[in-house]
Amino acid sequence: MKKSLFIIGTVILVLFLSACGEKDKAKDTSSKEPNTLDPLEVALNVPETGEKNKPIELKATVKQKKELVDDASEVQFEIWKDGAKEDSEIIDAANKKDGKYTANYTFKEDAVYTVQVHVTARQQHQMPTKKIAIDSSETTRNEHEGHSHGDEHHASDLSFHFIKPEKISKNTDTELAVHLEKDGKPLTEANVRYEISKDDVKKHAWVATQEIKTGQYKATYAFKNAGKYTVQIHVENDKGLHEHEHYTLTVE
């Protein structure tokens, strides 16, 4: 009888230890699996300007919480010229580890392009976009001539009110300000830049603004020479908005 009880106790102990081992093993395995609950964070790094016929590096950094994601199943860059999304080109990115994915691309025309990265990882998909202006050429400006211009502009329910300085002197800091409204409300937290050009100067200047009041964006710029300048205002946000409007200024 005692022998039987001993055997039964031994069997129960073995089964108990085996069950605990399987539980611990399952726990260890699950802890090593990629987390699919927290959202992916994709930082797209594209220069604001570039030159045609010269390779430009496109970069994307992928994170989940604070963890760098090295196991994305697919990362691709899609590139198209403004107004020609149907002719976009898609290139695969190389996994550089440390959460970084890169590709080189050569832009062949003077224009404004959209770069969109498609990241598929851990059962999620993210696809942020950035703009890049290739060369400081007449071609780029002419592509925007179709937009009406003046101190008030309405496109996609976006309203511009550019405050033209009364007098601009060369080599003097000049305040440039614009009020933006969308759907009748101030447009906040937008990425607003001034693209400043002069017909006899090939290189354009890009000036970032700060939102000093709700929907009001300002920057300071010193014009180096007298003459007529074109100030093109570029407005973007995280919701896919990209609008622009240009104005002519005279510098004394």
Vertex 141 angle, CA 128 and 88, to 5°: 35
Cβ(62)–Cβ(68) under 8 Å?
A: yes
**What tokens does 23 get?**
């539980």
Cβ(117)–Cβ(58) under 8 Å?
A: yes
User: Residue 129 pLDDT more than 80?
Assistant: yes
Residues 85 and 128 in one domain: yes
In a domain, 35, yes or no: no
Which residue is associated with the tokens 């950094």?
61
Q: State percent of the chain over pLDDT 70.
A: 77
User: Residue 184 pLDDT more than 90?
Assistant: no
Give the amino acid at 147.
H
User: Residue 185 pLDDT more than 50?
Assistant: yes
CA 199 to centroid of chain Cα atoms: 29
Residues 177 and 241 in one domain: yes
> Could you tell me the pLDDT band of residue 55, with boundaries at 50, 70 and 90?
very high
- Per-residue pLDDT averaged across 35-53, rounded? 85
Q: Which of 63, 66, 64, 91 is nearest to 77 (CA)?
A: 91
Vertex 168 angle, CA 166 and 169, to 5°: 145
Q: Dump pLDDT digits (tens) for 132-162.
A: 998 755 544 444 444 444 444 444 567 888 8
In a domain, 18, yes or no: no
pTM, 2 dp: 0.46
* pLDDT the model gives residue 199: 83
- Per-residue pLDDT averaged across 106-115, rounded? 90
- Per-residue pLDDT averaged across 220-224, rounded? 91
Residues 234 and 159 in one domain: yes
Cβ(127)–Cβ(148) under 8 Å?
A: no
Range of the domain at 225: 144-251
